[in-house]
Structure 1
Amino acid sequence: MRRAILPLVALLLASCGGGAPIDAAQQRLLDRMRQAGATDLAAARSADGGMSVGGRLAGREFGVAVPATWNGGVVLFANGYSTPGTPVGMPPDPIAGDHSGGFLTAAYRDGFAVGESAYDKWGIGVKSAVANTMRLRGWFGKVGAKRFYISGGSMGGNITLALIEKYPDAFSGAMAACGVTAGWEEEIAHLVDLRAAYNYFTRGTDYALPGDPDITRNGVSPIPPAGLGFARPLWLYWQMRRMAAPIAALFKAARADPHGREAKMVARIASVADADADPASFAFPILTAMLGMDDMRESFGGLVYGNRDKHYASPLLDAAETEALNRDIQRNDADPAAVAFARQWYRPTGRFHTPLVGVHNPHDGLVFADQATMLRKRVIAAGNQARLFQLWAPSQQKDIPTTGLTGWAHCGFTPRQAGMLWTTLNRWVETGQRPADGRY
């Protein structure tokens, strides 16, 4: 009985969407969407006369928005990393909550349809994200789209590079913002080195992290134990607060006494791990590793990064301190099969044919700026500079939840900057003229 009712509910939603009824042309477009293979469609007419549509393709949720005057172009967006334990769903209107920070909204205003697909899993999901985004692209082609752009932020920047390198003819232009554009070995190395250095220098102090100190595993669980009755969001919030508390206390003490013990601890951790001495640049990577290492190991089939042979050093340490650090810091080995999988999904080569606009902040609290510089080096090595245009956007300080501190934002871009990125990419594709290098 329930299965018989659901199509009727979807039809009613498609007819009214909770707002003004869709018009005849939009109903015909909705019919084409259904004929192209979408199910569970629910449409809503937007205040600007366009239409948002949520549904499923091969069981995966998607959301698209089609402007009132559609030019036949489509801009897709690849979402970033989601903390294990959080929902995998997709909102039906990609404009209302614009995960791109304004990139999709700018494209929509220029007459482009925009869309996103859910991934198969939380955490690291590059392989399924590539498959699901290409499925959405193919479906849009059956609906009548003529030209495609791809964009993504954070993990979505890695997905964007995977798409344009694996499918060189699928997209006319691409944009990667604050992305893992060098690869997962490099990104996870930052997470592991920072967590290991933090553990070493705070061992036995009030600033030590809670939970399991093993850098190869989660420090705490992102999912509440069965039977405790915790809702997942509340549990995850509590765990994040637990982990952030000692980091915040360390930075507050360091700032209270710039020449004291805590200030020296912060400086040494940052120097050894090659990180900014900034609370967000400590908290975001460490929390990601403590909540996500089990998922990373499962997703890649083992440990992607090993520090067994790494020599840790810092100009802030003398010879005896350096020897003690390298003797006592936790060591681990990478799994060759996991490294191979991570390179397949995905370590960019710099050899792509699609015009790519890349943007990063010089200080990013989670995906460090060397991801952008490493991509540029690979592009230059491949002789492919003509297809890459990189920008550096001013770094932004933002509040760190539950701590009372501010720090470098991850993906710190304004809607205006996101709109400029779209205009820059679209003009490049339309005119064939690569933009001039610079900042904005």
Structure 2
Amino acid sequence: MFTRFSIVRATVTVVASVTLAVSPGIASADVSGGALQGNLLSGGAYVIHEPADWNGSVLVWSPGYGGGSGQAPVTAPSSALLDWALDEGYALAGTSTADGGWAVENLLVDQRDLVGIVADELGDPERVIAWGSSMGGLTSVALMEAYPDAFDAALPLCGSVAGAVPMLNGSLDGTFAFKTLLAPGDDRLELVAVQDERARQAAFGEVLHEAQRTPEGRARIALAASLAQIPPWTQSDSERPARGDIDAQQKQLSAAFMWGVVSPRQPLEARAGGNFSWNTGVDYGHALRTSGNHALVRSLYREAGLSLAGDLGALEDADRISADPNAVAYMQRNATPTGDISGPVLTVHETGDLAPTVAQARTYADRVRAHGDNRLLRQAFVDRPGHCSYSDAEVAAALTALETRLETGRWANVATSRALNASADRIARASGLDRGEGSFASFHPDRMLRPERGEG
């Protein structure tokens, strides 16, 4: 480990010497409230928490989508988890970027530099674990691929681990079907090359509201949501719809549509320098049949008196969208993981997540397996709807399982649903961390309908 961190530290020392003239925070870090704080060359900020009795592991937290100038960096999903991790002996570190949004490009560099700063301030870690939620989960697995000498393991929570390209292709499929079938002449419904994100979101919301008022509209909403692979139980304030309750399932799809399908696109296109999504060559009939919602959509179409074959034919005949190869390449780098890992990764997803959908987990696992690294990967699922709504004890249990894997070199059974539930119960009793109402469950997600990393 010393050799590895000597290299990282030397890199950061150069950055620090440059920063002395440009961003003094990295050279004259502030110790405030027991935390070491400073600024990065990129304009972002960092914070480091040192435990009273360090166990040798460092947790490097990557934030989710959003934020921006002035947002303070955090090191854990909650203050209760921060306190628990410090009591367990973990050092914790995190950054915030200067401009927020889809800041994966900045984070990949900032988190690498942060590992060097931790080594300079606390000494050489024995283990470095990348963790984060949502976009931060994606960043965590991307860090494992980009800097295998700096990161030993990853714990991505509710992360878009299959990456930006397939995630936004799925969104394009949903919005393409929605516009083609419900408002083909409404230019406000921008699909790509978005000029006004706020107006686009408002327009989609308006058409969605009107369509939900008619049987025909409800059927077409369900079709569009299914092509984006939205599951029929997504709302955290609701009971799981009965298998035969097609109306309740459709309401779930409609309620999830704006969040799960009409994803913000303009800020990402601005970073990528163009449109990175395409639907050339997509067979939407096949996509529906493999979406998991085929029977539901067919029932809604029958109830509405609509021809499903006719609407699928309209999608087949509609003009398709091509991507800018340079923009695709940018999003591949920032980030669409390949699955080539050299250390253990434990992904955690909710079965009813809507952005990203749980199918991301299966596609990431397929990529890892293709590289022959499946022995390094384990995947855990919490059976409930929502996005990143884990209890503190659930996250602590997952982290404990990953730490055990690092210490022993074997997964054994520590990451099974049964073991994780038992661990979460023990941790909640011992520490007072919130246990929550959900539970880890055995689950086998479908593959993404659009798993590809690049056009062609």
Q: Shared topology, TM-score over 0.5?
A: yes
Q: Secondary structure at the match of 2:384?
A: coil
Q: Secondary structure at the match of 1:264?
A: helix
1:239 shift after superposition = 8.9
1:230 maps to none
Distance 1:203 1:219, change over 3 A: farther
Are 1:353 and 2:332 matched, yes or no?
no
1:39 shift after superposition = 5.0
> Does the aligned pair in 2 maintain the 1:101–1:418 contact within 8 Å?
no
Distance in 2, Cα, partners of 1:242 & 1:102: 40
1:303 maps to 275
Match of 1:433 among 389, 410, 428: 410
Are 1:187 and 2:167 matched, yes or no?
yes
Distance in 2, Cα, partners of 1:372 & 1:106: 28
1:140 maps to 118
Letter aligned with residue 216 of structure 1: V
Cα deviation digits, residues 111-159 of structure 1 (max 9, x gap): 2121211224332222211100111111111112423211122111221
Distance 1:103 1:161, change over 3 A: farther
Map 1:222-371 → 2, pairs under 5 A: 222=198, 244=205, 247=208, 250-251=211-212, 253=213, 260-276=215-231, 277=250, 278-289=253-264, 293-313=265-285, 314=288, 316=298, 317-328=307-318, 331-371=320-360
Q: Secondary structure at the match of 2:379?
A: strand
Distance in 2, Cα, partners of 1:64 & 1:249: 50
Count of aligned pairs: 354
Are 1:416 and 2:393 matched, yes or no?
yes
1:269 shift after superposition = 2.1
> Does the aligned pair in 2 maintain the 1:101–1:413 contact within 8 Å?
no
Map 1:13-412 → 2, pairs under 5 A: 38=26, 41-45=29-33, 51-58=34-41, 59-82=43-66, 86-91=67-72, 94=74, 98-99=76-77, 104-145=82-123, 146-147=125-126, 148-203=128-183, 212-218=188-194, 220-222=196-198, 244=205, 247=208, 250-251=211-212, 253=213, 260-276=215-231, 277=250, 278-289=253-264, 293-313=265-285, 314=288, 316=298, 317-328=307-318, 331-396=320-385, 409-412=386-389
Cα deviation digits, residues 168-208 of structure 1 (max 9, x gap): 12123211111121122101111211122222333189xx8
1:263 shift after superposition = 2.9
Q: Secondary structure at the match of 1:189?
A: helix
Distance in 2, Cα, partners of 1:199 & 1:282: 13
> Does the aligned pair in 2 maintain the 1:39–1:57 contact within 8 Å?
no
Q: Which moved more, 1:118-127 or 1:99-108?
A: 99-108
> Does the aligned pair in 1 maintain the 2:48–2:118 contact within 8 Å?
no
Distance in 2, Cα, partners of 1:245 & 1:65: 46
Q: Secondary structure at the match of 2:284?
A: coil
* TM norm structure 2: 0.69
> Does the aligned pair in 2 maintain the 1:63–1:90 contact within 8 Å?
no
Letter aligned with residue 218 of structure 1: V
- Structure 1: where are the runs of 5+ without partners? 1-33, 46-50, 223-237, 255-259, 397-408
Distance in 2, Cα, partners of 1:57 & 1:215: 36
* Identical aligned residues as a percent: 24
Distance in 1, Cα, partners of 2:183 & 2:201: 20
1:246 shift after superposition = 5.2
The CA RMSD over aligned residues, in Å, is 3.0
Distance 1:121 1:374, change over 3 A: same
Q: Secondary structure at the match of 1:310?
A: coil
Distance in 1, Cα, partners of 2:176 & 2:411: 42
1:37 shift after superposition = 6.7
- Structure 2: where are the runs of 5+ without partners? 1-19, 232-249, 289-293, 299-306, 418-439, 441-456
Distance in 1, Cα, partners of 2:375 & 2:353: 26
> Does the aligned pair in 2 maintain the 1:61–1:117 contact within 8 Å?
yes
Distance 1:113 1:247, change over 3 A: farther
> Does the aligned pair in 2 maintain the 1:180–1:367 contact within 8 Å?
yes
Letter aligned with residue 138 of structure 2: N
